Amino acid sequence: MPCSAKRLHVTRSEPSQLRNRSERAFLSGSARVLLKFILMMKRLQLIAYRATLGFSQALPASVRFRQRLSEGAQRLSRVGASSFATNVRMSRPAFSISDGDSNPTPNGMSIEEETLPQYRPEDFLPLRIGDILQSTYRITAKLGFGTSSTVWLCNNIKTNAYYTLKVCTTGERNCKEILASKHIKSIQAEHPGMERLRTVVDEFEVSGPTGQHQCLIFEPQGITYTDFRRRFPSAGINKVLLQQSLLLVLLGLDFLHQVGIVHTDLSPNNILLGVEDHSVFRAMETVQHESVSRKLNSGERTIYRSQALPVTSGALIISDFGAARIGLPGQRFEGDVMPNFYRAPEIILGMPWDSKIDIWSVGVMVWDLFEGGRLFYATRGGNISDEQHLAEMVSLLGPPPKSFLQRSENCSRFWDSEGEFTTIGVMPGYQN
């Protein structure tokens, strides 16, 4: 039976910092119009729980709204690139490419992908600086690693252009990334949001000692917003830069949602600083060749340390469509998606969901970037907790209406038959 919508008994905590931050109305003009359904919460200026999640009405699709969006995009395209670049430069301290450690790492010490849980060397393609793949892409520097891939800077020996190469472990396939890229590139339309998306430029497979490895080629970009905050914790992201960042991200999302793509994994980890001058990659190539920090394993494998990308000043790019869902505009999907701390209520409650979950992610990201801390901690006893996550949402946003509770088949997990919240959650304090 559907649950009634009595007021939920959730312990409220309203730190003074929340009240102070609530007075910051930092959006104006077209950006304010674009974000008014996201940043309208009376205390936090975050996301309107009701507006974006079906509590009242969805984001408008009126001609006037689209016209205002287009006007804002055109203004940004005229002055935004240089303005955005200026604000990135103002927000960052001086930074130079590190030359690392020229000495090989001792064989007994684990580095890079070797430190991952359940690491198996045979899963990774053994690459060396100078290797050429597909008779085209020469490996010039290592950029990073993950549980299912390594990432490299490479140079197209035919055109001398730089690219980012993602080499997957054996058995790993990025089908959604490729499908989303093909879908995006198949659209014949002029939309400023298309320029804000990183798509696959080329893809092929390489044979390794233990199997096939899928390889994806992308245009090279700068560091993520997460890396920016981690590298310069005291620098912060100024108000103007955040305004421009949000407009660029929302332009990209507007295009995606119009063509039926839901990103589902939007967070500062997947927002990249663009690159205007590719000479930074030539500098990285020089550093990698002159001072290679590496570990030699019995002559069979060379494990390179990742080179730090410089802080660039190009316009933002949305990346990583590996978890994207593709359908029709406005289509609802099912399934558990989104990063833990960015999960929308529909996801926690197992409801069908649509593109509005991406807008929820943007709102949470606004807080995280501007405040330098999480909006939702969603943990209890050191573990991710759905109960705690919902309690924090209700503590900040108030109880959901009856119509929303009726949409959840999992209502009984969190509310009793009388509509009482069955757990007590405390909104944690925020720290600078």
Distance between CA 409 and CA 351 in Å, rounded? 7
CB 402 within 8 A of CB 409: no
Q: CB within 8 A of 120, min separation 6: which ones?
A: none
Amino acid identity for residue 432 in this structure: N
For residue 399, the cross-strand partners are none
| 3-state secondary structure (DSSP) of residue 315 | strand
Q: Is 123 assigned a catalytic role?
A: no
* Tokens describing residue 227: 């890396």
CB 377 within 8 A of CB 388: yes
Distance between CA 86 and CA 84 in Å, rounded? 5
Alpha helices in 96-194, H assignment, sequence order: 175-186
**Segment holding 210, helix H or strand E:** none
Residue 16, Cβ neighbours under 10 Å: how many?
9
The active-site residue out of 123, 227, 254, 265 is 265
* Residue 129 Cα distances to 87, 147, 301, angstroms: 35, 21, 12
Q: Which phi and psi angles does 384 have, rounded to 5°? A: -60, 130
What is the bridge-based pairing of β-strands 271-274 and 379-380? unpaired
CB 153 within 8 A of CB 289: no
Amino acid identity for residue 244 in this structure: Q
Q: What positions carry a catalytic annotation? A: 265
